[in-house]
Chain A
Amino acid sequence: MNDAGLYAVKSLPKKEYLAPGHRSCPGCGEVLAVRLVHKALGRNTITASATGCMEIVSSPFPLTSWEIPWIHVAFENAAAVAGGIEAALKVLQRKGKIAPKEINVVAMAGDGGTADIGLQALSGALERGHDFLYVCYDNEAYMNTGVQRSSATPFGAHTTTSPAGTAVPGQITWKKNMPEIVAAHKIPYVATATPSYPLDLINKIEKGAAAEGPAYVHILSVCPTGWGIGSAETIKIGRLAVQTGFFPLYEVEDGAYKITVDCAELLPLERYLQPQGRFRHLSEELIAQLRRRVFEQWAELKRRAALSASAAR
């Protein structure tokens, strides 16, 4: 981050909408992302949450960490609940039953609640065009239930249901590309982010909230507990995910691709994999497979961004 960036972080609003005292693990990247997202959104926000780590750490009755209106219903339906909130606010304002006000309607869910069990509800809500922001907090497994694999778990990773064994080397499927699946719905705004790049994240949340219609931000959320890293490593690991091309930061605005944190040259992938317990068992050959995939995806993203840039000229 350059000095201007550091200064800008310090100038962020002090107000927290997720109060301290929640019960996340030390160094949780997901809760950091939730805090930043809600800082960016401000107080005029209603959030519908899926079941998962963030719900559990923030809402043990009779306590709550939430300083904005917040609702949790179930695991797979955050998008549908948010759709109901959005539809209702619109019609109640139209009918004069509540005063007109700009309110951000937000759905939040983990990678499991988004890419697996909640995919149908999400697709339905996107297709219907609800004016809402969906934020996926992707820690690449079902952390709340004890680090089981999801379809967003990366190839090779060890989880409790994709264990690295002698016959099978951990997860043997490729991470589902949620941002692309969402972009295929042709919604106004899709982006990836990570709290290791807080200004980029905040910028994208603001854009997503301002978009007319559905917006989707997919946030890589480093999870020290599930990934097997020290709790002080969260930010660094998130940066390495971006700098090695493992998790590129980009946005798709009205169909136009833009890489928001570009890398002139990708760092060696091992620098990202090696510190993490979940990848410790990987052989040279598996790392080579992963590397190939990362290069392919990066090249494809570059190609799309270049196409979009030339189309804009």
Chain B
Amino acid sequence: MKKRVGLEVSYAAAEAVKRCNVDVIAAYPITPQTHIVERLSEFVANGELDAAFVPVESEHSAMSLCIGSQAVGARSFTCTSSQGLALMSEIVYITASLRLPLVMMLVNRSLSGPLSIWNDHSDVMAVRDCGWIQLFVRNGQEVFDHAFISYKIAEDHGVLLPVMINFDGFILSHMFEPMELVEPAVIERYLPPYNPKYVLHPDQPLTMGAFAMPAVFTEAKKAQDEALRQSYPHILRAWQDWGDLTGRYYDPVEGFWTEDAETIFVALGSFGETAGEAVKALRERGEQVGLLNLRLWRPFPFEAFARVVEGVRNLIVLDRAVSYGGPGGPVAGEIRSALYNLENRPQVYSFVSGLGGRDVTVQDYMAMFTGAISGEAPRDGIFGVRG
């Protein structure tokens, strides 16, 4: 057994970023991301990390500044939540189209209004199509590990795309969890120093961010879409290498008790942890139920996902954001369309739950299950609304 230490997940995140030896950090505080920025600024202030910590005046400038620093070849980092992401979102799209391998931690929090500092996924779902690689991790160890994995993926010359690590605000970010803090010597073997492909430098002048006339715009978008799709094998490779080094292997989709399941819960992020408890209890009752954690949201792992769910009768998709007036929650809507061409496609139930920090208990998951298999639950709806 490797040595494990107890740490608040936000501090573990900061520790990991430090061990990535980043050059530039630009961030603006917002609950629940604050502990990460605070700790990083301490590392720099104490000389534990040789980096520029730039306390920008807004998230819009945080993302913009990171574009500038990445463009000259500095490994850069930012993190935010909710309103911060919404404010910077204009620039978030541009980071991807400039193919800059930035890594951002998004500590998920609901989007105003009403204002709520608590957790759900309405922030990230608003930028679904920003062109970043988007991961959802579900415990402290995964947060820590994915700092290294994300830079490894992003900076791969076969990828060169920004990576967003999503993890749940408070219910994960502020938890105290035991984890293995991988030693710098080991990390050195995994994550080489950043070797940028294109940089702004007077020795080799180049133009970044030229505008596109209609004659080239479609081609630019096609190239961007291809780049994101083609990142998939590189992501698998980065996970494989990390597993070989640490013994912790990660997958784009992760199934528990899915082999013989008739009903499968689909979860993103830390909800998988409690849903897993519910699945365990239901199994003990003899129900054929399983759980699928979707760790990779973009590029969407179509084949790996279909392999697990093909032939299953019901999917209960746990959505953490509302698509107002739309076809179910954003994840459920997407999964429905991803499965549409399968011969044996499951029924998809969209349970929007856990909004703005509302707790979703083991009993709640069990009620969703009963509702779905009895056919009593509506196909789409917000679960647990108080009367």
User: How distant is the Cα of A42 from the Cα of B50 in the complex, in angstroms?
Assistant: 31
Q: Does A121 reach chain B (CB closer than 8 Å)?
A: yes
Measured CB to CB, the residues of B under 8 A from A are: 23-24, 26, 50-52, 54-58, 60-61, 64-74, 76, 90-91, 94, 98, 193, 200-202, 204-213, 216, 220
7 A–B contacts, CB within 8 A, in A order:
A59-B210, A60-B212, A73-B68, A74-B94, A84-B69, A94-B50, A120-B60
Q: Does A82 reach chain B (CB closer than 8 Å)?
A: yes
* Chain A residues, Cβ within 8 Å of B72: 46, 84-85, 88-89, 92
User: How distant is the Cα of A246 from the Cα of B73 in the complex, in angstroms?
Assistant: 44
Interface residues of A in 16-44 (CB under 8 A from B): 43-44
What 1/0 flags go to A36-77 for Cβ under 8 Å of B?
000000011110100000011001111110111111111011
A91 and B67 contacting across the interface, CB-CB below 8 Å: no
Q: Which of A60, A72, A80, A90 has the most CB of B within 10 A?
A: A80
Measured CB to CB, the residues of A under 8 A from B are: 43-46, 48, 55-56, 59-64, 66-74, 76-77, 79-92, 94-95, 97-98, 101, 103, 120-121, 123-125, 127-128
A95-B50, A124-B57 known; A61 and B216 CB under 8 Å? Answer: yes
User: How distant is the Cα of A87 from the Cα of B73 in the complex, in angstroms?
Assistant: 11
Closest to B212 in A: A61
Closest to A83 in B: B65
A80-B60, A83-B61, A95-B50 known; A45 and B67 CB under 8 Å? Answer: no
User: How distant is the Cα of A125 from the Cα of B57 in the complex, in angstroms?
Assistant: 8
User: How distant is the Cα of A124 from the Cα of B212 in the complex, in angstroms?
Assistant: 30
B69 and A87 contacting across the interface, CB-CB below 8 Å: yes
B202 and A55 contacting across the interface, CB-CB below 8 Å: no
Closest to B53 in A: A87
* Chain B residues, Cβ within 8 Å of A125: 61
User: How distant is the Cα of A80 from the Cα of B76 in the complex, in angstroms?
Assistant: 14
B74 and A91 contacting across the interface, CB-CB below 8 Å: yes
* Chain B residues, Cβ within 8 Å of A94: 50
* Chain A residues, Cβ within 8 Å of B23: 88, 91-92, 95, 97
User: How distant is the Cα of A208 from the Cα of B28 in the complex, in angstroms?
Assistant: 29
* Chain B residues, Cβ within 8 Å of A79: 61
B60 and A59 contacting across the interface, CB-CB below 8 Å: no
